[in-house]
Amino acid sequence: MALPSPIAWAPSGAVRILDQTLLPDQERYVDLSSVELVAEAICSLRVRGAPLIGIAAAMGVAMGAARESGAPAMGRGLERIRTMCARLGATRPTAVNLHSALARMERRAERAVGAGEDLREALLAEANAIWDEDRAMCARIGAVGADLLPDGALVLTHCNAGALATGGIGTALAPVYTLHDAGRKMAVIVDETRPLLQGSRLTAWELARAGVPYTLIADSMAASRLRRGDVTCVIVGADRIAANGDVANKVGTYGLALAARAHGVPFYVAAPTTTIDPATARGADIPIEERGAEEVAGWQGHSTAPAGVEVWNPAFDVTPAELVTAIVTDRGVVPPREIARAMD
């Protein structure tokens, strides 16, 4: 299966990313040679998806440490690592993976300094471990989720929670790829995902590359399609799952969950345990990123609304736990209300 690799180490030690803002027209890799460039790439969604921005940020910290001049193992080194983590953590608020990966890098730096270890080596190993663990969690989600899908399943998904969003085969798309790889028949309905079109630009692109049959729809068509009765289930990813099972994911997910409930279609959220945030009690406590007006009022520099139009552009929404049939994690299928226990 030809899945894309959205991140790599460049031979120079820079963080190499597939620039997702250019897809599907151009498949261009860019080398990010400073923490500031990694931060810009996360803000601008060149690199995106909850698990992947955690991996990219961790790699950014490891690269930043490696590029520090002087003796990074000293107290000053730790201070610099904390500054890098703060910069990268300020890029996007919603995906908890970003913040937990950075907290993990900071803790590793503290331990390394305390134990007199080589800070650069310790941080490089930690970033690679975060990446490797995500790859393994995606594979587990694929195996766990595949058991939920009958032969010939038709899966509706929103945004991109595939290989482009993770260090492995994705989360929502992991069961699809697992079954496809095993030669089972199945197909996907892809929500276009306004305003930044992660569905049509990214999910459709990676499904086509993998040879998985799919149909693209505009977001406004999802409810009608669910009413038709041929959709087996909805599977989406998540940016943060609160302790009570409420789920933050790409804006539009909540409406899809309501429509799925109205038509009796199972609504699954697929996410690694790193997306569960036991410290956030309820969905209402999840910080929701608001992005610029130009994303809604224009496309690639062209206006699609009158100049100066007032816009509301939350990048994510919260789906209450009661609309979620189950959460598919690397540790099994969990009822949303029991998600905090999946962390034990």
Binding of residue 88 to ligand MRU (CB under 6 A)? no
Of the candidates 239, 246, 277, 317, the residue annotated as catalytic is 239
Name the residue nearer to ligand MRU (CB basis): 198 or 319: 198
Name the residue nearer to ligand MRU (CB basis): 15 or 165: 165
Name the residue nearer to ligand MRU (CB basis): 171 or 325: 171
Strand 276-277 relative to strand 316-319, pairing:
unpaired
57: closest CA among 14, 95, 90, 102? Answer: 102
Residue of 62, 133, 142, 166 interacting with ligand MRU (CB under 6 A): 166
Binding of residue 225 to ligand MRU (CB under 6 A)? no
Residue of 95, 105, 113, 241 interacting with ligand MRU (CB under 6 A): 95
Residue of 91, 100, 171, 325 interacting with ligand MRU (CB under 6 A): 171
- Radius of gyration of the chain from Cα atoms? 20
State the DSSP string of 48-106.
-SHHHHHHHHHHHHHHHHHH--S-TTSHHHHHHHHHHHHHHHTS-SS-HHHHHHHHHHH
Name the residue nearer to ligand MRU (CB basis): 51 or 175: 51
Strand 247-250 relative to strand 240-242, pairing:
antiparallel
Helix axes 50-67, 75-89, angle to 10 degrees: 150
Residue of 178, 198, 274, 280 interacting with ligand MRU (CB under 6 A): 198
Residue 61 and residue 203: Cα distance in Å, rounded?
A: 28
Residue of 50, 127, 148, 169 interacting with ligand MRU (CB under 6 A): 50
Binding of residue 195 to ligand MRU (CB under 6 A)? no
Stretch that binds ligand MRU, among 58-66, 67-75, 160-168, 330-338 (CB under 6 A): 160-168
Strand 240-242 relative to strand 276-277, pairing:
parallel
CB of 70 to ligand MRU, least distance (A): 35
Residue with tokens 């959460």, as numbered in its chain:
327
CB of 72 to ligand MRU, least distance (A): 31
CB of 274 to ligand MRU, least distance (A): 10
Stretch that binds ligand MRU, among 43-51, 57-65, 118-126, 320-328 (CB under 6 A): 43-51
230 assigned to active site: no
CB of 113 to ligand MRU, least distance (A): 32
Bridge partners (DSSP) of residue 8 are 16
Residues in the chain: 344
Residue 332 and residue 172: Cα distance in Å, rounded?
A: 14
- The answer to whether 68 and 77 are in contact (CB under 8 A) is yes
Binding of residue 280 to ligand MRU (CB under 6 A)? no
State the DSSP string of 262-329.
HTT--EEEE--GGGEETT--SGGGS---B--THHHHEETTEESS-TT-----BSEEEE-GGG-SEEEE
Name the residue nearer to ligand MRU (CB basis): 49 or 77: 49
- The answer to whether 87 and 36 are in contact (CB under 8 A) is yes
- The answer to whether 150 and 132 are in contact (CB under 8 A) is no
Closest residue to ligand MRU in the complex (CB)? 237
Binding of residue 203 to ligand MRU (CB under 6 A)? no
Stretch that binds ligand MRU, among 11-19, 237-245, 317-325, 329-337 (CB under 6 A): 237-245
Binding of residue 48 to ligand MRU (CB under 6 A)? yes
Binding site for ligand MRU (CB under 6 A): 45, 48-51, 95, 159, 161, 165-166, 171, 198, 237-239, 249-250, 315
